[in-house]
Structure 1
Amino acid sequence: MAKKILIVEDEVPIARVLGAYLKKADYEVEFAHDGHQAVEKFEAFSPALVLLDVMMPGQDGWNVLAHIRKQNACPVIMITALSDVEYRLNGLHSGADDYITKPFIADEVVARVSAVLRRSSPIFESSDDMLMLGNLKVDFRAHHIFVDGEEVTLTPRDLSLLLFLLKHPNQTFSREQLIEKVWGIDFDGSDRAVDLAVKRIRKCLYGWDHAYGEIKTLRGLGYQFRVYKEDKE
């Protein structure tokens, strides 16, 4: 499946050129042309990486970056005409993964995107059948979950919820979405059932090393299985 790239750039010709090169490199592309649209597209598109212009109408790139970092660790490459070292350091200290100044060569941007994606989650190894994340091991085919080699016992409903979140790392789902996608629209319980299920799952995963990730509660939004990019000592 093609990885999704969100291009946030108010200069439409530049955005189109970047989009064409990324599509040629087999990425799926979505565009936003101001800060407010960027936030909306980020929530809806769930990109694997964001190319983010600094100077934009509405919210600037710094505000958009701050919003993204409140949500998850999605890689962000800042793009700007400002080449001052202080601007670059500000971007990196604010959570950006890389920094590109204009004018640039589109092929270089594609290469930077590929490099950042390769290193963005070195401890996250997954396939259709297996996931290894620190001391957490998940066998999707057999529906078995292990922490430190010990199998974790969950109810079928809780297990189905956890497996769904694991299959969609760093994506936020509302309680209503989780009920519909995991338990089905015929579920006749309250959305409070999702809160209780997450509480039970967290308890069962108590021994999991949370340096690698965690189930996050995003107030007013829902839940997310967050994967951290770096190993925490």
Structure 2
Amino acid sequence: MATILIIEDDMTIHSLIKETLDLHGFKTLSAYSGTEGKLLFEQNQVDIVLLDLMLPGMNGEEFLQEIRHNSTVPVIVISAKIDQNSKLDLLTNGADDYIIKPFDVKELLARIQIQLRHASKASGSSMKAIHYKNISVNLDTREVKINDHTLHLTGREYAILLLFLENPQKVFSRANIYESVWNEPFFDSDKTINMHISNLRNKLNSDHTSYIKTVWGIGFKFD
């Protein structure tokens, strides 16, 4: 049974989410501020966080920044902000998905299941670790290191890195990466892949080695 932390201060929306998740067999934890959410996150084993942005005390962006120092637990932002820049900023800063209010509970459930399937796939590997050049990944703890320096990756960045590490030298198109990691059809106008690749590339370049190569007109490969 997956444990989902709901951080939402609107009582009506919070109750709707909680009742839906309870009905579908999830265990839920409820927080009505970012500060309360952070405390519950630290005290419990959480599988997914559903995060509002406009919260009393610590807001959603601050909460996300705090937990991303040492956690890759999937975070789905639920917000009334509809502009593309807000969405891209949140994805850049560690969110794994973004759903706009008002939302369909069936869509929310589908997005939760996608995150759970991806997390299960990553943790279900028979291997305990992956090593490639100076990179090491502990598949149990999801800790990523380069030369013993820990990298703080978002859930999407971690998933993309595993895809590359499991298929070194293979060239992936943006559609390949999106459909493998997001488990959704790829739309050519979506710039999300380029943003996540750029962020991952910058983090991996901490030892001044270029791991992700651009194959012009096709996509990317790990070298």
Q: What TM-score, normalized by structure 1, do the two folds share?
A: 0.57
Is the CA contact (8 Å cut-off) linking 1:19 and 1:29 kept in structure 2?
yes
Structure 1 pair 95/134, CA: closer, same or farther in 2 (3 Å)? Answer: same
Matched ranges for 1:222-233 at <5 A: 228-229=158-159, 230-231=161-162, 232=165, 233=222
Is the CA contact (8 Å cut-off) linking 1:6 and 1:51 kept in structure 2?
yes
Letter in 1 for 2:86: Y
How far the C-alpha of 1:211 sits from its partner, in A, is: 6.6
Of the candidates 112, 124, 133, which is equivalent to residue 128 of structure 2? 133
**Following the alignment from structure 1 to structure 2, what is the Cα–Cα distance between the partners of residues 53 and 91?**
11
* 2:136 aligned partner: 209
Letter in 2 for 1:63: E
Query: Structure 1 residue 44 and structure 2 residue 48: aligned?
Result: no
- SS of residue paired to 1:55: coil
How far the C-alpha of 1:208 sits from its partner, in A, is: 9.3
Task: Give structure 2 stretches of 5+ with no counterpart.
Answer: 146-154, 166-221
How far the C-alpha of 1:39 sits from its partner, in A, is: 0.6
- SS of residue paired to 1:95: coil
Query: Structure 1 residue 29 and structure 2 residue 25: aligned?
Result: no
Is the CA contact (8 Å cut-off) linking 1:8 and 1:34 kept in structure 2?
yes
**Following the alignment from structure 1 to structure 2, what is the Cα–Cα distance between the partners of residues 35 and 97?**
18
- SS of residue paired to 2:69: helix
**Following the alignment from structure 1 to structure 2, what is the Cα–Cα distance between the partners of residues 54 and 63?**
9
* 1:106 aligned partner: 105
How far the C-alpha of 1:25 sits from its partner, in A, is: 1.5
CA RMSD of aligned residues (A): 2.5
Residue deviations 1:88-137, cap 9 Å, x none? 001110110000110011121111111112123533216xxxx433459x
* 1:115 aligned partner: 114
Greater shift in the superposed pair: 31-40 or 110-119: 110-119
**Following the alignment from structure 2 to structure 1, what is the Cα–Cα distance between the partners of residues 31 and 60?**
12
Q: Size of the alignment, in residue pairs?
A: 148
- SS of residue paired to 1:210: strand
Q: What TM-score, normalized by structure 2, do the two folds share?
A: 0.60
Letter in 2 for 1:10: D
Residue deviations 1:25-62, cap 9 Å, x none? 11100110011101101111221000000111111100
**Following the alignment from structure 2 to structure 1, what is the Cα–Cα distance between the partners of residues 111 and 144?**
29
**Following the alignment from structure 1 to structure 2, what is the Cα–Cα distance between the partners of residues 120 and 87?**
25
